[in-house]
Each structure stands twice: as structure tokens, then as C-alpha cells.
Structure 1
Amino acid sequence: MNVIAMIPARYSATRFPGKLMKDLGGKPVIVWTYEAALQTKLFKNVYVVTDSEVIANAIQNVGGNVIMSKKEHECGSDRIAEAVEFMDADIVVNVQGDEPFIDAVSLSKLIDAFTIDIHNQIDLASLKVQISNKEDIENPNNVKVITDNFGFAMYFSRSVIPFHRDQEIEVKYYKHKGVYAFRKHALIDFYHREMTPLEAAEKIEAIRYLEVGKKIKMIETDVESIGIDTEEDLKKAIEFLKNA
């Protein structure tokens, strides 16, 4: 099974512009992410896909593989789909550029999901982590996911899902971690479809897959990495490195 990693890297992030080039322990966030993906040794190749010469130069300066986007893209899946469309690959893993501390165990679980999927039921797989802090649950920057009894995603939302109406029933909340593994054909099919209504409303690309009938297997992990979505997240990441 030919598995490659793609790291979509857009410079002009809405919530925290230029976040991928912010200094983290002496090197840019995007370089941390690229090197972390390499160090897992799970991939035949690792690429950064970007529209930014600044990001491209940072990766090339450490000897990394860079693909420049030819078009403007609304989401990471579209960006990597353009890059991978004519590549030889079975599974494409989308490693978010703002996840500098992603771990090999979680990535390995995603890839293993396809290895044991003998009936090819899974179009893509992604990660979820249980959260219990009220602030985390209510934070719209944390995308929540609910699944069916077989671990397939039913819906993603920035709102609190599920709504805990009956307090006598135990409810668990899960945050979606933005790391995906795709069968290549599912990724390319996504790329050639228009943005769907709920995806546009929530600004969550995973919803497009659900709206067009794709099956997303959610893999639970207990590793809570630090995604760099805000300046506060960057401060947490810097503090994490100091205490590591």
C-alpha cells in the first residue's frame, strides 16, 4: 500500500494570519510539522503543498519537498487533491500544517484502518479525541464530531453536539482533530465537486464528504496535540516545548 503525506500550507489563515511561519523554538511552525511527519517513517514521501513562496523557501531550506499550488483553494483537501491527482498513491494522509506535535501512534492508527478494511467500506479516516472541559466543548474553534455505533462520522459542527437535554444520560464529547487519511479516489472525487451548503455554513470541509455520501471512519486517540489556530495556541506550544 503506497502511503504518502501531504501538508497543505496556506499563509493567509483567517484567524491567525502567517501562523505557519511563526517562530516556535527557533524554527517556523510549518517546519516543525514537516519534520514531525518525516520522523514518523510511515510515508513513502512527505510534501508541503503551498501557495506561499515564504513557506516554500522555509521548507526548501531544510531540504524538504514542496509543491506550489496552481489555483486558489478554499480548503486543505482541495489543495492537496490538485497536487496528488496524477501521483501514484493509494492512501493520502493530510497532515495539517498547524499541528507541529502530531504523533506517530495516531497517524499509524489512521493507516491501519485501511489495512483491515477488507470490504473497502472506508473512504477516509480521521481522528477524534474526547474532551470534557466545558470551555473546550463550547469553543467554536473546536470542531465536534458524533459517530454511529460502528465509528463512522454522522456529523461535524462548531456547535455543541450532541445537545445534552437529558442529564441522566451519560454523554461523551469528541473533538475532531484535523488529520485525514483518504483513499485517493475519494479525495479526487471531493475535489471535483462544488462546496456543499452545510460545509459552507460551518466552514468544515469534512462535511462535504458526508453530504456527498462518503464514509468517514473516526479513530479515537488519547493524544491531545496543540494545534496552532490562535496566538494563544502558539503561546501554549512555546510553553509545551519549554517543559518538554
Structure 2
Amino acid sequence: MSEVSTLFGGPAPAGSAITLYAHASPDYAAKVHATIELLKAAAFEHAGKVVQATSLGVEDMVVTDLIARHRLPIAIGTLETGMLNPETASLIGTIETHYADAGVHVEVYKPVADAVIEFVQKNGEKAMYESIELRKACCGIRKLEPLSRMLAERSAWITGLRREQSNNRGDMAARESDDKGRAKFNPMIDWTWGDVWHYVSVNHVPYNPLHDQFMPSIGCAPCTRAIAVGEDFRAGRWWWEDEKAKECGLHVHK
């Protein structure tokens, strides 16, 4: 069996996400082409007003790689919630270093400090475990409000969502509108998990090492755990809640 490669071109270690998952589907090349064309369309149709909202997960790292590789005029922004794992937060600098030749800069949006302090003082540091309402309130402060600032002057945004990620995302389209009427592009929507890791392998895309620890979906540290064999992609997110509640509100769609 041929070796799959890591970011630096050497063999991927046994047990890495690349070794475990990299497997292209029969129509992989067509998916890559369609994704590039959709990104080009987003850049053309919303010139100067489109941003990739990256969670720094592996799907979003692929989107960032395609934007940089094809020198597309698409801004890249992320939410630094103040509760990210160090491995996740460090990817911001990694992206800018890895794609320095393409002039990639990552816009970083943080929650309003006073709002975070007030919430924690009132509800405690573990409020997210107490109720769905408190968890969503925490997401509202740390994610939704900063996202609103990221999108304030934009007419479109780009995600790394895939239908395969969850039942809640199964009916999403490659092009749709968000709850504010902005254009929302989901260029990875038809990719499989194997497609994602195959692309990472052959293009040496940097990724979060937590993916090697059985965390396919990574959010804030208190709200993310590894998944077990047989669990779905998002089982490690807000695992104490009912399956139907497992969204933070970033991806309400019409």
C-alpha cells in the first residue's frame, strides 16, 4: 500500500486522521472542480464583500487552501471565542505562515469582554452544562455576536459544511440564503469524509492535531470530546444534549 503524506511530505503516522480516513470517492475530481468553480463564482458575484467564516476544522482548512491556491479575492475570518483549545487557536498563525506567499490574512473576531465577564459572573464557568438555554446564551455571546460583526459589511459568506456531518445539515444546498438574506455558499456540501482527508493528504494541508485524537468536529474546549467507534461526526459536540439541539445558531438556513 502506498504511503499517504503529511503536511511536510513524509509518511503519515499510524493512527493519524490521514492514515485512517483518506480515501477519495469515485467522483472526487468532479467535486474538487465544482468547489473551485463555486468559490470563483462567490468571489465574482460578491467582489470585496465575501468572507470565508472558518471554524478552523479540517473542512474549512480545505476551503482556505483552495482560496489561497487559486489566489481568490475572498477574505478569511474566524471566531476566537476565548474557549478554544490551544491546538485550534494556533492554527490562525499556522494559516498565515503556510500561505504567506498568497498573502493570506485571517481576520479574528472575539466576543465582547464585558459580556463574557457578566455572563460568567452570573452563571458560572460551567453554565453550558446546566441547560440548553444557558449553553445557547454562551454561544450567542462567544460566537453569534462576533459573527454578526464579521458579516456586517458583507453580502455573502462561505462555510465548510457538508451534508454528511449531521441530519440537521442533510438538506442544505451548495447555495442558499442565511436568516438575514445574505448569500451563503457551502462548496464542500457533497464531499465525503474520505474526500476531505484525501485532499489534505495530497495537498499537504495543515490541520488541527485534535483530529488525530478522534475529534472530527471541534468547537470550544468544554463542548468538545472525542467520539467512539460508530458515533456520528457531531456526537462529540454538546454530547450531554438531545441530538436535535446540537447547533449553536451559526447555521440557521432557509
TM-score (norm 1): 0.28
Q: Greater relative contact order (Cα 8 A, min sep 6): structure 1 or 2? A: 2
TM-score (norm 2): 0.27
